[in-house]
Amino acid sequence: MEIEDLSAVYEIEVEAFKNTTWTMEAYTRELVMNKFAHYFVMELDGEIIGYTGIWLVVDQCQITTVAMSRKMRGKGYSHILIQHIKDFVKPQADVISLEVRVDNTAAMRLYEHNGFKYGGVRKNYYGEGLDAHVMWVNLND
């Protein structure tokens, strides 16, 4: 992901996360200032259709976001994003973790089908009583 990708990324962001707290400035900071952050876009025929990001700190990797434009969902493209993350971090990290809203069935399926296991619940992680599952995958399994 490059700065010039951000308007397309942000269109997908607001479509994917109705009440997103991530601003364009937040994305810019991630790309420019956060040396632990790595963000990737997926393009189809020159158009950005999805993206994902991670924080990779020493041997710890956390997925910070994954989103696919609505019209491109259900085609398996997100599997490619997750596989890319796994390949990218494998030389450095053993485990990838993430948080996912307990009612986000599509995302939980995506992670389950990529080997992620449930590792506990973070109560009220999203506020307003909304909990998160912690999920993780061991890349050496």
| Footprint of ligand COA (CB under 6 A) | 16-17, 66-68, 73-79, 100, 104-107, 109-110, 113
Closer CB to ligand COA, 31 or 78, in the complex: 78
Give the separation between CA 123 and CA 141, rounded to whole angstroms: 28
CA distances from 104 to 86, 107, 119 (A): 21, 6, 16
Which residue type, as a one-letter code, is found at position 21? Answer: T
* Nearest distance, CB of residue 46 and ligand COA, angstroms: 19
Residues with a catalytic annotation lie at: 99, 111
Please, which residues have CB within 8 angstroms of residue 120's CB and are 6 or more apart in sequence? 133, 134
* Nearest distance, CB of residue 110 and ligand COA, angstroms: 4
Closer CB to ligand COA, 32 or 113, in the complex: 113
Q: Which two tokens stand for residue 66?
A: 């994954």
Q: Are strands 117-122 and 95-101 parallel, antiparallel or unpaired?
A: unpaired
Closer CB to ligand COA, 92 or 105, in the complex: 105
* Nearest distance, CB of residue 124 and ligand COA, angstroms: 16
Q: Which of 83, 81, 54 is nearest to 67 (CA)?
A: 81
